[in-house]
A and B are shown apart, each in its own frame.
Chain A
Amino acid sequence: MLSQGAPETAAAGRWKLVWRRFLRNKPAIVGAIVLLLIVIAAFALPPILPFDYKSMDYSALQQPPSPKHPFGTDATGGDILAQTMHGLQKSLIIGFSVAILGSIIAVTAGSVAGLLGGWTDRAIMWLVDLLLVVPSFIVIAIFSPRTKGSSSIPLLIVLLAAFGWMISARIVRGLTLSLRDREFVRAARYMGASTRSVIVTHIVPNVASFLIIDTTLALGGAVLSETGLSYLGFGVQPPDVSLGTLIAANSGSSLTFPWLFLFPGGFLVAIVLCANLVGDGLRDAFDPSSKRARAGRKAAKPTKQKVKAS
């Protein structure tokens, strides 16, 4: 085998191939870059700003954007830029953590239930049904003494994720049931593959399209449900701010003092939009039948190079 002249082209493997296909999707790349910039801004900007989210500038009350306050100020002279950036930190952490954690729970529970069937399936589905009928806000309210204050963010994330995965899990279970009888899953079974490796290598990539859409939608949902909790007195509490509380507090003045509402709202839209673009790109990259991830008309090799270079 080694004696052959031509160098062996090593197989790229699944993940490399998915990555290569993702790179061909320009909107997804743009989305990823913008998302990255937002994350960097949210964490790098506040320390170098002249104001922090709590400080009040009494010389500028309810002022439109100016060089001193690029995003304007609110009624108490708070700097909207500083508040938005601080809120972004909170919302990014909460949104992404809840969405990803929820999806992980959903895919694990759903695929295990679908793949194993029998009693495991029934037990997991009972749990799903139970959680669906339990009013989640009341349960979170029971935890409320602990969730007050900003140190409770991890607990808030866990609670939000714990009550947000059930419907996705049911869908994943349904998809898994149809995959279970497919011959490639049976073949893997007869090869002696463990349940875990069947889930990771076959089930997850084949339900990826659904999962990705679900996660991107859950991202926006998590930011907003955090706002709802804050309104009820749980989650992020004043003077601490999140994107959600900013939007909720300022939505009333969206017509009179638009800068109060537009900047936090714009960032939320930007995050969800970028996450959607990245999600679409990932979905196309995972799906071999998608034509968008295919190489263009030109020969494949140069195209790949060009995309990588750009």
Chain B
Amino acid sequence: MTDPTATETPQEGARQVTTAPLLEVSDLHVSFPSEEGRIDAVRGVNYTVSDGEVLAIVGESGSGKSVSSLAVIGLLPDQARVRGSIRLRGKELLGMDDRQLSTLRGSRISMVFQDPLSALTPVYRIGDQIAEALLAHGKMSNKQAAERAVELLDLVGIPDPQVRARAFPHEFSGGMRQRVVIAMAIANDPELIICDEPTTALDVTVQQQILNLLRKARDITGAGVIMITHDMGIAATLADRVAVMYAGRIVETASTAELFRSPRMPYTVGLLGSIPRLDDPARTPLIPIVGAPPAMHALPVGCPFAPRCPVAIDDCRAAEPPLQDIVPGHRTACIRTAEVGTTDLFTAYRHEITEPEREIITDDRVVLRVSDLTKVFPITSGVVFRRRTGEVRAVDGISFEVRAGRTLALVGESGSGKSTTLTEILDLERPEVGSIEVLGNDVATLTKARRREIRSKMQIIFQDPSASLDPRMPISDTLAEPLRIARRSREEIRTRVPELLRQVGLRPEHADRYPADFSGGQKQRINIARALALDPEILVLDEPVSSLDVSIQAGVLNLLRDLQTERGLSYLFVSHDLSVVWNLAHDIAVMYQGKIVEYGPAEQILTQPEHEYTRALIDAIPVPVVVG
């Protein structure tokens, strides 16, 4: 900037004319209709973003963090009611009709969504999709747009962009697709980029690259960035300023350094405390924030966090505290900031957890044994005569054991063969090569009745809590399903369903709702409840917490650990996140390209990793600490 060039001068001029900040959101309210009446998802949110600044909005699911940003880009569903003011460079966005907003979307404000899979149209070439984004707003020829698309692909680090621009989305990996989405987002040199959990669906090592790319995109475009995330680690590594949202309001906002050094809102402290970290001892209970986020249709009077707050006093329940400055630039919505400091808060939370429970006595019974399992997918070509032209060894001779009451973590990134291994185990069919033994039965020799019995003893919890619940089935029926399949009596089902809901920390009156009315964390609890319905012995956990946010994740991990201690469950836990694995697993098997590259007790693998891949995984974890 010391050497203003000819192209930069008008831009500088424009920025001086409008003294208004890039984005100013004030007193934003959003409400939705629901079965229980209107839900106020966002209740009076104020924030500003300036040029080149990264604002991280952190919060639990359902805190209104996504809704408040979708309101900015005008993508809320029709039934949403929006009130307040959203100004982009002083120009009011609320009340604009869809056509006016469409000229802004993509050109001045752009968005990176969570799921790179559904953000790209599967039937168009990558290059054409980027060109489409350019042609929608810019005035350029098709040829120029195509050339620019290749440049953009190069910019976001797609190797061989000329060739790859002609590829289709399915030929790209998840991380590559997210790079393409980012390329589309920066295509028109926007002033504001909204990133809605852009790395949640990605592997850790890829996440690190995407975060670096976003930082680069910010530097290139000079745009303001709103980073919506549930991961404090991401906020710490990327953001300049952090706003913490709870129950539809911002409860603490400060510069990143300030916030992570001295958080003052009990909720923020709770979030920070609930993150599993590699420097904690293994398998210790996390410090979750007790309770659940309040039901948005019936918010309690007073501070919405008071019921979960370890330092709440009676005054907290009297009125909702406003967001106030405690030091310049650091604002919190808590009436006790004057008397309770950061360290007091951390201590208060630590008081709440019970003593670490004794390790359960484990008999050395092996409940699941996989030996020399190999799964090969043939690659065929030709339409009429299928010729086998090659093969993919998705799983390549792996062996492991799960013991009763213990957790084996299968660690690896996408494509490492974890999912194939799980499918092979869950199908209960004779594998092509190798053998699988469940509860002492070789699956190759199972009778139909015995297989049915084993099915009820081995349950799975999927990664995506939304996809694993039938959207058209109310929760009560979802939970009753395994019981019905096992032909339990109607009476038993009626008593068991509320019991299961309570066991996983949900309210029984939720039973009448559809899955769409729940947040991700709650859906995962419903999944756990469904898996528990038949009192299984083995739970297969397929990345059960990877799409949840931290305080929820802590709750779910603690729940899983408690259930294991209580019932002696055995877990086969599949994950890519080593900090989570550290918190739950007794043994770890690291998978890389279909092979187990490292296998042993958790302590040994995470403290003295031998394989370089394990080390790369450990290094890629974003740490919620600000250096310097």
Query: Which residues on A are within 8 Å of B, measured CB to CB?
Result: 1, 8-14, 17, 182-184, 186-188, 190-194, 197, 201-202, 205-206, 208, 286-289, 291, 294-300
- Chain B's nearest CB lies how many Å from the CB of A172? 15
Contact B472 A286 (CB under 8 A): yes
- Chain A's nearest CB lies how many Å from the CB of B116? 19
Contact A297 B474 (CB under 8 A): no
CA distance A197 to B473 in the complex (A): 14
Contact A13 B476 (CB under 8 A): yes
A183-B467 contact, Cβ under 8 Å, with A17-B512, A205-B473, A291-B79: yes
CA distance A9 to B36 in the complex (A): 15
Contact A184 B36 (CB under 8 A): no
- Is B495 an interface residue, CB under 8 A from the partner? yes
Contact B530 A187 (CB under 8 A): yes
Q: How many of chain B's residues have a CB under 8 angstroms from any CB in A?
A: 50
Residues on B with beta carbons closer than 8 Å to the beta carbon of A197: 484-485
8 Å CB contact of A187 from B78, B462, B497? B462
Residues on B with beta carbons closer than 8 Å to the beta carbon of A182: 467
Contact B456 A192 (CB under 8 A): yes
| B28-61, CB < 8 A from A | 33-38
CA distance A188 to B455 in the complex (A): 10
Residues on A with beta carbons closer than 8 Å to the beta carbon of B613: none
Contact B508 A9 (CB under 8 A): yes
Q: Which of B34, B37, B470, B471 has the most CB of A within 10 A?
A: B470
Residues on B with beta carbons closer than 8 Å to the beta carbon of A188: 481, 485
Q: Lowest 7 A-B CB distances belong to which pairs?
A: A11-B476, A11-B511, A288-B514, A192-B455, A183-B468, A205-B472, A183-B467
CA distance A190 to B469 in the complex (A): 14
Residues on A with beta carbons closer than 8 Å to the beta carbon of B392: none
Which of chain A's residues has its CB closest to B79's CB? A291
Residues on A with beta carbons closer than 8 Å to the beta carbon of B339: none
8 Å CB contact of A11 from B38, B474, B527? B474
| B396-427, CB < 8 A from A | 426
Contact B514 A8 (CB under 8 A): no
Contact B462 A183 (CB under 8 A): yes
- Is B459 an interface residue, CB under 8 A from the partner? yes
CA distance A162 to B436 in the complex (A): 46
- Chain A's nearest CB lies how many Å from the CB of B50? 37
- Is B351 an interface residue, CB under 8 A from the partner? no
Contact with A along B585-604 (1 / 0, CB 8 A): 00000000000000000000
Which of chain B's residues has its CB closest to A203's CB? B470
Contact B476 A206 (CB under 8 A): no
Residues on A with beta carbons closer than 8 Å to the beta carbon of B514: 288
- Is B624 an interface residue, CB under 8 A from the partner? no
Residues on B with beta carbons closer than 8 Å to the beta carbon of A194: 485
- Chain B's nearest CB lies how many Å from the CB of A246? 41
Which of chain A's residues has its CB closest to B460's CB? A190
CA distance A266 to B471 in the complex (A): 39
Which of chain A's residues has its CB closest to B495's CB? A1
8 Å CB contact of B470 from A190, A201, A289, A297? A201
Q: Which of A11, A297, A299 has the most CB of B within 10 A?
A: A11
Other A-B pairs, 15, CB within 8 Å; known A206-B470, A288-B514, A294-B33: A12-B512, A14-B474, A184-B467, A184-B468, A184-B470, A190-B426, A190-B455, A191-B455, A191-B456, A191-B485, A192-B455, A193-B485, A201-B477, A205-B473, A296-B33
CA distance A98 to B469 in the complex (A): 34
- Is B482 an interface residue, CB under 8 A from the partner? yes
Contact with A along B476-518 (1 / 0, CB 8 A): 1100011011100000001101110000000011011011110
- Is B252 an interface residue, CB under 8 A from the partner? no
| B540-586, CB < 8 A from A | none
CA distance A166 to B79 in the complex (A): 38
Contact B35 A205 (CB under 8 A): no
Contact B471 A298 (CB under 8 A): no
Residues on B with beta carbons closer than 8 Å to the beta carbon of A295: 33-37
- Chain A's nearest CB lies how many Å from the CB of B465? 9
- Chain B's nearest CB lies how many Å from the CB of A203? 10
- Is B537 an interface residue, CB under 8 A from the partner? no
A1-B471 contact, Cβ under 8 Å, with A190-B460, A193-B481, A294-B34: no
CA distance A14 to B514 in the complex (A): 9
Contact B471 A191 (CB under 8 A): no
- Is B203 an interface residue, CB under 8 A from the partner? no
- Chain B's nearest CB lies how many Å from the CB of A290? 11
Residues on A with beta carbons closer than 8 Å to the beta carbon of B515: 288
- Is B170 an interface residue, CB under 8 A from the partner? no
Which of chain A's residues has its CB closest to B482's CB? A191
Contact A8 B459 (CB under 8 A): no
Contact B509 A9 (CB under 8 A): yes
A297-B455 contact, Cβ under 8 Å, with A13-B477, A14-B477, A187-B530: no
